[in-house]
Structure 1
Amino acid sequence: MEFETRKRVTPNINLAALVDVVFILVIFIVLGANFHRIQTLDVSIPVAESTGQADSRSLVITIPASGQLDLLGKKIDPENLKSALRAKVADFESVLLVADQSAPVQRVVQILSDAQVAGFVSVSIATQEPE
């Protein structure tokens, strides 16, 4: 009796599809880690010799070097700042500007002008005490 012998077939794994899946997972992980960092707004304010405390009834406007402004924790475009300030003039007595050291002076001056047009009489600029 003669038996038929099967040829042994070695298993073959296609690694191209596995590499593609791993690459896509790495992209999602990297993007997710970067979005977590973007949520905070780091503002490096300038140092000044004068001392004084900020009024707790001040409307705080955070001015980054570029991008949207931060008005009471909400992002706002500089074009919409005048209308937002007019809406808040009855609720606050003054404006406190927290501007980044590298923010353009023209940007800060424009915001000061918008606050004056909206009806605010007192405007302060926040600084750090020297170390």
Structure 2
Amino acid sequence: MNFRTRHREDPEINLIPFIDVLLVILIFVMLTTTYAKFTELKINLPVANAQSTKPRPKELVVVVTADGRYSVDNRQVEGRSVELLAAALTASTGANRDTVIVLTADASATHQSVINVMDAARRAGLSQLTFATQGQMGAAAQP
């Protein structure tokens, strides 16, 4: 007969299978997750709450209507080409190249109409351009 006392070892939890399962789940999650590129491009557009500034002495207002007609300093431009618009800008500014163009475009105006004004300003040698916006209360504001 064997009367020796046996030493019982405390039971231990084997963590290796648990870690293996977690690694498989981690790999599965990494492979099935979709990363949207557009989340990087989220922007918040600023609200134009600025109060209207005083007219500057070297300021030229160019208006673009919804149907694509142009007006330079309250004078209608006869035509819609970039060349005619550049000629009207040159005639209104003369030799003064420090004139700031305030572009007031209708919300329904085409993008091409606005680009035409910018191109005409470049051809006329005018490099300072700003956009007029409408405030929340409906008053016109300029940056």
**TM-score (norm: length of structure 2):** 0.51
Unaligned runs of 5+ in 1: 1-46
Tell me which protein shows more helix as a share of its residues.
1
Cα distance, 1:72 vs structure 2? 1.3
- Structure 1 residues 48, 58: closer, same or farther in 2, change over 3 A? farther
- Which structure has the larger Rg over C-alpha atoms? 2
**1:106 matched to which residue of 2?**
112
2:77 is the alignment partner of 1:73:
no
Distance 1:109 1:54, change over 3 A: farther
The Cα RMSD (Å) is 2.3
Paired with 2:48 and 2:73, the residues of 1 have a C-alpha distance of: 27
Counterpart amino acid of residue 90 in structure 2: R
What SS does structure 1 have at the residue aligned with 2:117? Answer: helix
Give identity over the alignment, percent: 26
Deviation at 1:65, TM superposition (A): 0.7
**In 2 relative to 1, CA 127–100 (structure 1 residues): closer, same or farther, beyond 3 Å?**
same
Q: TM-score, normalised by structure 1?
A: 0.56
CA distance in 1, matches of 2:128, 2:103: 11
Cα deviation code 1:5-44 (max 9, x no counterpart) = xxxxxxxxxxxxxxxxxxxxxxxxxxxxxxxxxxxxxxxx
Q: Summarize the Cα distance change of 1:108–1:74 in structure 2 as closer, same or farther, 3 Å threshold.
A: same
Unaligned runs of at least 5 residues, structure 2: 1-45, 138-143
State the AA in 2 paired with 1:82.
A
Displaced runs of 4+ in structure 1, greater than 3 A? Answer: none
Higher RCO (C-alpha 8 Å, min separation 6): 1
How many residue pairs match? The answer is 85
